[in-house]
Structure 1
Amino acid sequence: MTPGSSPPLTVVGAVNVDLTARVERAPAAGETVADGVLQRGPGGKGANQAVAAARLGAAVRLIGAVGDDADGRGIRDQLTAVGVDASGVQTAEAATGTALIVVDATGENSIVVCAGANAAIDATTLGIEPGAAVLMQLEVSDAVVSAAATAAGFFALNAAPARPLPAGVLERCDLVIVNETEYAQLPEVHDAPLLCVTLGADGARLFRQGELVAAAAGVATTVRNTVGAGDAFCAALVVGLLREDSEADALARACAVGSAAVADEASQPALGPLDTYGASA
Structure 2
Amino acid sequence: MRAYVIGNVAIDETISVLSMPEAGASILGREETRDLGGKGANQAVVMGRTGLSTTLVAAVGEDFRAQTIRDQLAGEAVDARLVGHSNRSSDFSIIFTTPDGENAIVTTTASAEALTLAEALAPLKDAAAGDLVVLQGNLSESVTRGILAEARRRGLTTAFNPSPLRPYFAELWPLIDIAFLNKGEAESLTGSSGETALHRLAEAGVAQTVLTLGGAGAILASGSQVLTTVAALATEVVDTTGAGDTFMAVALASAALRGTTLDTRAVRHATAAAAITVSRRGTRSAFPSKAELTGILAGE
Change (3 A) 1:248 1:37: same
> CA–CA distance in 1 between the matches of 2:139 and 2:72?
21
How far residue 154 of structure 1 moved from its aligned partner, in angstroms, is 0.7
> CA–CA distance in 1 between the matches of 2:272 and 2:170?
34
> CA–CA distance in 1 between the matches of 2:83 and 2:28?
38
Structure 1 counterpart of 2:207, which letter? P
**Deviation per CA, 1:208-255, whole angstroms, max 9, x where unpaired?**
222201221101111111110000001011111212356010011111
> CA–CA distance in 1 between the matches of 2:170 and 2:224?
21
Partner residue in 1 for 2:113: 119
One of 257, 269, 274 as aligned partner of 2:273 = 257
Partner residue in 2 for 1:154: 157
**Do structure 1's residue 212 and structure 2's residue 212 form an aligned pair?**
no
Q: Identity over aligned residues, as a percent?
A: 29
Give the TM-score, by structure 2 length. 0.85
Gaps of at least 5 residues in structure 1 are: 1-6
Change (3 A) 1:113 1:169: same
Change (3 A) 1:108 1:211: same
**Do structure 1's residue 200 and structure 2's residue 214 form an aligned pair?**
yes
Give the TM-score, by structure 1 length. 0.91
Q: What SS does the aligned partner of 1:190 have? A: helix
Partner residue in 1 for 2:97: 103
Q: What SS does the aligned partner of 1:11 have? A: strand
Q: What SS does the aligned partner of 2:167 have? A: coil
Partner residue in 2 for 1:176: 179
Partner residue in 2 for 1:276: 295
Partner residue in 1 for 2:25: 31
> CA–CA distance in 1 between the matches of 2:298 and 2:231?
11
Bigger helix share = 2
Partner residue in 2 for 1:190: 201
> CA–CA distance in 1 between the matches of 2:164 and 2:36?
19
CA contact (8 A) 2:162 2:169 kept: no
CA contact (8 A) 2:59 2:82 kept: yes
One of 235, 243, 255 as aligned partner of 1:229 = 243
CA RMSD of aligned residues (A): 2.0
> CA–CA distance in 2 between the matches of 1:133 and 1:203?
25
> CA–CA distance in 2 between the matches of 1:136 and 1:263?
26
How far residue 278 of structure 1 moved from its aligned partner, in angstroms, is 6.9
